[in-house]
Structure 1
Amino acid sequence: MPDSQQDLLAGLKTRLGALGLSVHEDAKQGLVGEAQPIRSKWWFGARTVTYRMSCRPSEADRTVQFREAVTESSWGLPPPTVTVEKTRVSGWKLSGERSDVSPGGGGTIDYAKVRDAVEQAVTAAGWTFHLQGGRLP
């Protein structure tokens, strides 16, 4: 028999934690995860790129609604940064990666890594994966 909702959430929580996200359960959103893969800071300011996701399971139709967003924020005068971004957009699916290098740090984000891992885990458990595009987690 396919996994129950609690088994699915426990498996997703473990998998998302292994991918570097801080994950917690929310009554309305299901699982909510966040990571800051790109950070650069110096005396005059800082820049961060934050990845946020949520996946809300519905036991009635055995569907997982998945939302994700990548946001960039800065304060002050952020350090000079070289950004290399290679992306592909198909509908609401953003794939590819972004790498930032600066004197105050940097990092890399793979846009599709988390979404693909969640989709594989959900379908392997016998549930249906649905990407909700255009909505923030």
Structure 2
Amino acid sequence: MTIPNTPGWSPDGKTLYVTHSSAREIFAFDFDTESGEISNKRIFYTHDGSGEPDGFRVDVQGFLWQAVYGEGRVIRIDPKTAKIVGEVKVPTKNTTCVQFVGTELVITTAEDGEGEGTSREYGGHVFKVDVGIQGLRLYEFKP
């Protein structure tokens, strides 16, 4: 992978997702919770828009909330069908990552020095919106 981004797990811990931003893909792997081994690499989602998938988080229902850099939105992807089932738009193109705080989705963006109007004005800002669902609990890395 050229630009791997945001590893995240399904609610049961048995599927590992990793964004490959430059290829516009999200990979899924089987994850063995006992041994920590990964296997069965597959393309879970391919983005056909003009932007690139960037950072994501998984909600308690297993849906992925994927920031799309260059499109000014976060898409919600169904874990069973890999279809987009919702989106949150922001007034700047360069959405970079998301994080849950309760039921609020916090969305980070990058500066848009080449943009125009609101995209340029709001680039680099942080936004939040109540999406009515919580994200999965995050775990600290243990070496």
Q: TM-score, normalised by structure 2?
A: 0.25
The structure, 1 or 2, with the larger RCO (C-alpha pairs under 8 Å, 6+ apart) is: 1
Q: Which has the higher strand share?
A: 1
Q: TM-score, normalised by structure 1?
A: 0.26
